[in-house]
Structure 1
């Protein structure tokens, strides 16, 4: 059961849920791939140069370095997946709820009646790939920014629908 489902108040229902766009994993993935390629290249280059150490074509330290590269690559990719999956964003019939993090959790819950405006910032690449930043401003409060949201215009529309009291689209 998700954080949002666990923390619904009586009479509240989830109207829309979204998550972070896959672009948040791009940096993790690129670095992981570079490390994996390095891990493959090290023994290949070592063997092609014909370097021999004590009669062995490739010493154990090189294999250990390869294993470390693969382990770090896997860990970075796993961290990217965790980061993406640890973020929940929902519009309910009464609130906007955003939860990020696992060990260190940050939650933002804004009552729909207290929302003053919802802004969307989409860079050019974000428009092409379907991600952007949603800025929710509550009455008398500071703006809350939610970056790299999957389909930010849909998120804004759902907030506006709930504020206006429109029914969930079929």
Structure 2
């Protein structure tokens, strides 16, 4: 079960989930193959490790807050109420722009920052967040 699903509170609904792209696995595959050729196949262990690192990132928007988690063993989480988020920034490398992924940086009014990497179509996540934030302000 995903972190976000396991941590919803009573009567809270997940409205949007940021998906992690598998394109971010490409550097792990390249380095795994290169090191695998040098180390008699041991470098290939980087590929499943990279997959788990990438899949450990989660971001979602509920009807009450933004929830983000990163990390496999060491976990970093941030949960900010929709009306407390001061900015939602996007960082994309050239490869990220071409392949359609990037990092979300969620900031609250107290200057907490939470970077969530490898989110597929981060612009859609940001657009959906602002739509929900606006709907929440109208209520």
1:94-130 per-residue CA deviation (whole Å, 9 max, x = no partner) reads: 1111111222111111111101122223333322210
Q: Does 2:114 match 1:144?
A: yes
Q: Separation in 2 of the partners of 1:12 and 1:69?
A: 50
1:8-157 residue pairs with structure 2 within 5 A?
8-36=8-36, 38=37, 69-70=40-41, 72-157=42-127
RMSD: 1.9
Determine which structure has more spread, i.e. the larger CA radius of gyration. 1
* Higher share in strand: 2
Could you say what secondary structure the match of 1:135 adopts?
strand
Distance in 2, matches of 1:91 and 1:156, equals 10
User: What 5-or-longer segments of structure 2 have no aligned partner?
Assistant: none
TM-score (norm 1): 0.71
Q: What's the counterpart of residue 158 of structure 1?
A: 128
Structure 1 gaps of 5+ residues are 40-67
- Please state whether the residue corresponding to 1:140 is helix, strand or coil: coil
Deviation at 1:7, TM superposition (A): 0.5
Name 1:42's counterpart in structure 2: none
How many aligned residue pairs are there?
A: 136
